[in-house]
Amino acid sequence: MAHGEGRISNKQHNARSKIGIQHSEFPAVSFQPLISVSRCRRDGGTFVAHDGRELAVFLLGDPPRVEVIDNRCPHAGGNLSGGEVENGIVTCSWHHWAFELSTGVCTHSERAFVRRYPAEIRDDLVWADLPAKKPLPTSFPGEGI
Ligand code: FES
């Protein structure tokens, strides 16, 4: 099994299925180095611009683990790397939508989510598996979240 396969959660799978997208349509391209662990804020988010993407890297716990999501909040574009993090949930500072970092799913509604990328620490670098396809939609049109 390639890196990142099988790491999609049931919540993500269900959310993607609702809009007709199957996990297999998002093949892993490759893990890419994003940032040195030493440059990441501990137990919080760090903004990373990489290859045309705006990402939020979260370095959590001890021993540290990482989560990588799109930086833009799907509600109105807030900066998720600057959000408060508690118990594996980041809360957007603009209007307080909250997202589970392990799934990307909004805690208020499974119909909204932020894109999450499989990630890991290797040799003091944060690596993430960034697919080549365009990002998923982050809400379901017309459902008025
Ligand atoms: S922009 Fe994030 S909650 Fe509104």
**Quick check: is 91 in a domain?**
yes
Confidence (pLDDT) at 131: 86
**Quick check: is 141 in a domain?**
no
Global pTM value? 0.75
Q: Name the domain count of the chain.
A: 1
Strand partners, 46: 57
Mean pLDDT, all residues of the chain: 83
Confidence (pLDDT) at 23: 47
- 1 alpha carbon to ligand 1 midpoint, in Å? 36
Q: 110, 15 in Cβ contact below 8 A?
A: yes
Is the beta carbon of 4 within 6 A of some atom in ligand 1?
no
Is the beta carbon of 104 within 6 A of some atom in ligand 1?
no
For 27-49, what is the mean pLDDT? 91
CATH code of the domain in which 48 resides: 2.102.10.10
Q: For residue range 92-139, what is the model confidence (pLDDT) as tens digits?
A: 999 999 999 999 999 998 899 999 999 999 999 999 999 875 555 666
R_g of the chain computed on alpha carbons? 14
For 9-17, what is the mean pLDDT? 58
Residue nearest atom 4 in ligand 1 by C-alpha distance: 95
